[in-house]
């Protein structure tokens, strides 16, 4: 836990750095494969300090996260036993890995979208999607949709509400993600039936 605490402090301090956007991209990219902290921890303070760039920062998060997700998928597809499973075991996500297999068997792209929006570690989603041979096009579409919805929802709240959004996000982050998931599902259903 001390390592995680130090990483959180480092990530938060980085929000004010002149190289913050590069750090954000790297955090978003590596979180999709191995890094333990979500890019939201950097996105929120960066967007708060420069509200007019909130959507720009959300774009950086989305692009970095999806590119990292593609690498995670590749690792899972080709090297799950040698690289992916050690990552899963390191984070003690073996039970979740088995549960996600059932999600993929039942829901396919929806499982990717749910993992991309919720506190389920996205790295688990990317590695397991490759390992379970989820269609890459579906994986990519669901990743772009869910990750952009997640990061742009945060940026939108900060852009509109500023500092008030920070307290709301700190207290009710899971609620925001569930709301974004509901909106995403509603959007998919509207596109399908309209």
Q: Which two tokens stand for residue 37?
A: 């902290």
Provide the pLDDT confidence category of residue 20 given band limits of 50, 70 and 90: confident
Range with top average pLDDT, 86-95, 98-107, 112-121 = 86-95
Whose structure tokens read 């997700």? 69
Mean pLDDT for the stretch of residues 140-165 = 88
Provide the pLDDT confidence category of residue 9 given band limits of 50, 70 and 90: low
Q: Which domain holds residue 114?
A: 47-189
155 sits in which H/E element: helix 136-161
d(CA 118, CA 116): 6
Please indicate, yes or no, if residue 34 is contained in any of the structural domains: no
The answer, yes or no, to whether residue 169 has pLDDT greater than 70, is: no
Please indicate, yes or no, if residue 30 is contained in any of the structural domains: no
d(CA 122, CA 65): 9
Please indicate, yes or no, if residue 31 is contained in any of the structural domains: no
Q: Quote the percentage of the chain above a pLDDT of 90.
A: 35
Enter the DSSP assignment of 33.
T
Please indicate, yes or no, if residue 2 is contained in any of the structural domains: no
Closest Cα partner for 186 from 125, 113, 123? 113
Count how many domains the chain has: 1
Please indicate, yes or no, if residue 114 is contained in any of the structural domains: yes
């Amino acid at each position: 836990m001390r390592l995680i605490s130090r990483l959180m402090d480092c990530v938060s301090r980085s929000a004010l750095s002149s190289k913050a956007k590069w750090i954000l991209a790297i955090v978003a990219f590596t979180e999709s494969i191995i890094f333990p902290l979500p890019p939201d921890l950097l996105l929120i303070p960066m967007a708060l300090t420069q509200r007019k760039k909130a959507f720009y920062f959300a774009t950086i998060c989305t692009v970095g996260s999806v590119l990292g997700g593609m690498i995670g998928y590749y690792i899972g597809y080709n090297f799950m036993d040698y690289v992916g499973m050690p990552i899963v075991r390191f984070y003690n996500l073996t039970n979740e890995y088995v549960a996600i297999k059932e999600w993929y068997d039942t829901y396919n792209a929806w499982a990717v979208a749910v993992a991309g929006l919720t506190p389920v570690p996205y790295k688990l989603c990317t590695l397991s999607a490759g390992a379970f041979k989820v269609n890459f096009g579906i994986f990519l579409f669901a990743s772009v949709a869910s990750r952009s919805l997640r990061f742009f929802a945060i940026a939108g709240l900060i852009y509109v509400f500023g500092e008030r959004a920070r307290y709301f996000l700190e207290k009710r982050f899971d609620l925001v993600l569930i709301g974004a998931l509901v909106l995403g599902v509603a959007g998919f259903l509207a596109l399908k039936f309209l």
